[in-house]
A and B are shown apart, each in its own frame.
Chain A
Amino acid sequence: MPQYFLAVNHDEAEAARLSALTPEQMQPMFEAVGVFNQQLQDAGAWVFAGGLEGVESSTVVDGTGDRPVITDGPFSESKEFLGGFWIIEADDLDAALDWATRGSKACGGRVEVRPFQG
């Protein structure tokens, strides 16, 4: 079955808004995402999912040269970065978009859908 990567991308404004929320304010979102994850599992569409720590905890490794170059933070140009993701199985793009719509509602953010190779 084809697999799709559902990415929740944040821009700086969204990240700032999210980090300003209290745990109580975050709670409904966590619950909605929990329900969505259960739906994925019940439907047999679940592969893997996770939320990521903030972009300030990110480290970039460039191993393309002779020695690895390790730098702090994401690529300096990026305006958007990955906040969390799901990997799902779906028959086709329409099915994946349907899951993405529900996931977007649950987490309160836009979701990018990309097919895996193969």
Chain B
Amino acid sequence: MEVIERVYREEFGRVVASLTRRFGDIDVAEDAAGEALLVALEKWPVDGVPPNPGAWLTTTAARKAIDRIRRESHRDAKHQAALVMVDDTPHEPTGPVEDDRLRMVFTCCHPALAPEARVALTLRLLGGLTVAEIAQAFLVPEATMAQRITRAKKKIATARIPFRVPSLGDLPERLGGVLAVVYLVFNEGYLSSSARTSVRDDLTAEAIRLGRLLRGLLPDEPEVTGLLALMLLIEARRSARLSTDGVLVPLPEQDRGAWSRPLVDEGHALVRECLRVNRPGRYQLLAAVNAVHTDARSAADTDWAQVAALYDRLAVIDPSPVVQLNRAIAVAELDGPEVGLALVDRLPLEGYHPWHATRADLLRRLGRSAQARAAYDAALALIDNPAETAYLTRRRSEVTG
């Protein structure tokens, strides 16, 4: 039973994408994939899992879809005939760009859809998560999430959002939107904005799975490689990030021996690949920053000059104050907390809790205790995440004088 569900989950995106291309209707594809699962649950325990379960599920689902289209009397006869006459052989992918899942990614992440709908659709149609799982992960009622997904699918149909990989000219920008969705899923799992965590580990795993899928489909896009590297290098540190009593452990205090060596190695290899291609972008630069950290044997060995240089390059692409804040943290390590604080204080980030937490830390190191405590309070007032709250509360209590 568990094997069937695992295989189904792995193959779901492929089945739905393939049927969507063939029948031009996401709902038909999704329902047929669900019916194929019921058949698998009935047959596989008896006959065993077929050698190519993906092809088996696609063929079975396609038959179910044709049955449904035949049954539905409101469809006009011409439409029915066209669908039923379609070639019944399974789709043979002719190359990575022809993969139906890639079309599905771009459809789910189309800029004409609301950002929260893009995330939900991607998790549903490519990740194969149930509506209930997605609702739980984003802490909204299931009915709300179901409505969000239904509305988005309806817009895809009525506005005719194409099921297609964008033209070369549009690809960089549209790919940026896709990567943003994957990174958002990852971040929601990694540093959730709320108290519940169990489902959130699934989100980071799912984001990495989508990242690997995208890299398989678009191996020559360095930003795709960069995003995967970034996620792997952050994920590598996950077990060292929380103490046993659930308090956030910041990077300098982490037990580096607890980092996942295979993930670090894989991430470093991908970063080196990006360097060879030499077309830097946002995710590649963030991955490189993380590689500097995971390269250092101890926090004191960190090459902060390199980190600051990478943030300088990132600031050219993305001149946002958040990038400046991260650069200032590196500068504080290089040139001292006073120089770092002067940079931090210039940034318009009063509503962003890491800004307050960074100020608090720099003020603490400068011995300006009363101001440090006030900054910790300001940071604490802005967060819900229990691990971060515990960490900052501890830090605040350590300020003396």
Contacts and interface: CB of A to CB of B under 8 A. Distances in A.
Contact of A115 (B160, B164, B170): B160
Nearest to A97: B112
A2 B112 contact: no
Interface string B181-225: 000000000000000000000000000000000000000000000
Interface residues of B, number: 10
Interface residues of A, number: 10
Nearest to B160: A92
B166 A115 contact: no
B112 A115 contact: no
Contacts of B112: 93, 97
Contacts of A91: 160, 162
Interface in B164-190: 164, 166, 170
A91 B161 CA distance: 10
Nearest to A94: B162
Given A93-B112, A97-B112, A115 B162 contact: no
A84 to B, nearest CB: 21
Nearest to A95: B162
A114 B160 CA distance: 10
A92 B159 CA distance: 7
A114 B158 CA distance: 9
A90 to B, nearest CB: 8
Nearest to B112: A93
Interface of A: 2, 91-94, 97, 113-115, 117
25 contacts: A2-B160, A91-B160, A91-B162, A92-B160, A92-B161, A92-B162, A92-B164, A93-B110, A93-B112, A93-B159, A93-B160, A93-B161, A93-B162, A94-B161, A94-B162, A94-B164, A94-B166, A94-B170, A97-B112, A113-B159, A114-B159, A115-B158, A115-B159, A115-B160, A117-B158
Given A94-B170, A113-B159, A114-B159, 11 more contacts: A2-B160, A91-B160, A92-B161, A92-B162, A92-B164, A93-B112, A93-B159, A94-B161, A115-B158, A115-B159, A115-B160
